[in-house]
Homo-oligomer: A and B are copies of this chain.
Amino acid sequence: MGLEFPLKIDKSVVKSFPMFERMPDADVDALLSQAVSKRIGPGEAFFEQGGAATHFFLLLNGRLKVTQVTADGQQIIVRVVHPGDLFGFAKALRRSDYPGTALAVIESLALCWATELWPQFIDRSPHLAVSALNTIGQRLEEAHTRIREISTEEVERRVAHTVLRLTKQAGRAEEAGVRIDFPITRQDIAEMTGTTLHTVSRILSAWEAKGLVEGGRQKLLVRDIAGLQALADSDGR
């Protein structure tokens, strides 16, 4: 089942996350004492779409994609989960099942709390309730941004925005540019932008020819952030 209890180790990691950094040590200890940690490998999931929402989670390290599958089998990537993000909780409040699947793209470690602990979790610290609201508010804003992009922008600009967002959220500086710090396929990018892997591949090839990015199997290195930004900002003309 992959359960572990390395709570001593986790504490410093947890305290390094913005959401917890101002929380008194005693409160952090109390929260951690109720948590279980769970490690899963790439391709495994913390929870699956439609499954009973028994737990909510905090990602300590690794990387997840939250996907939704439509009735007719099409998949989209709702968001990417980075270390320090809470996940699997937005819905634990209102509904009893998970609206998506949280799939690890690399080996990932998360803390798990039983859903029933949620009220306690936010009571523990008023600051945390506000943090949770902020987090989810931010996520809502991102979702609206994405709706706006999908509704009004042509594919190339959407892909540019998505890639830029990924560099901000998961970029690692290298000599040649900024690398997306986890394995990502053309298909993934397609599912984040509402297009097909073919179109993404064509676009990335064109960018590579212009020296904007450097591709590779499940790899992406952005060589010219400013150039890509210019492309994303240009209003279609």
Contact = CB atoms under 8 A, between A and B. Distances in A.
Contacts of A137: 90-91, 93-94, 136
A37 B68 CA distance: 41
A144 B147 CA distance: 9
Copies of this chain in its oligomeric complex: 2
Interface in A193-237: 193-194, 233, 235-236
A34 to B, nearest CB: 19
A146 B78 CA distance: 11
Given A130-B93, A133-B133, A137-B94, A70 B194 contact: no
A36 interface: no
A230 B123 CA distance: 44
A138 B94 CA distance: 8
Given A72-B235, A94-B134, A235-B72, A99 B129 contact: no
Contacts of A90: 137, 140-141
A133 to B, nearest CB: 6
Given A122-B129, A134-B93, A74 B152 contact: yes
- Say what secondary structure dominates the interface of chain A: helix
A45 interface: no
Nearest to A119: B130
Contact of A72 (B126, B146, B236): B236
Contact of A91 (B91, B119, B141): B141
A120 B152 CA distance: 39
B93 A148 contact: no
B141 A70 contact: no
A162 B152 CA distance: 17
Interface string A8-22: 000000000000000
A155 to B, nearest CB: 12
Interface string A28-64: 0000000000000000000000000000000000000
Nearest to A144: B78
A102 interface: no
A115 B129 CA distance: 17
A76 interface: yes
Nearest to A192: B151
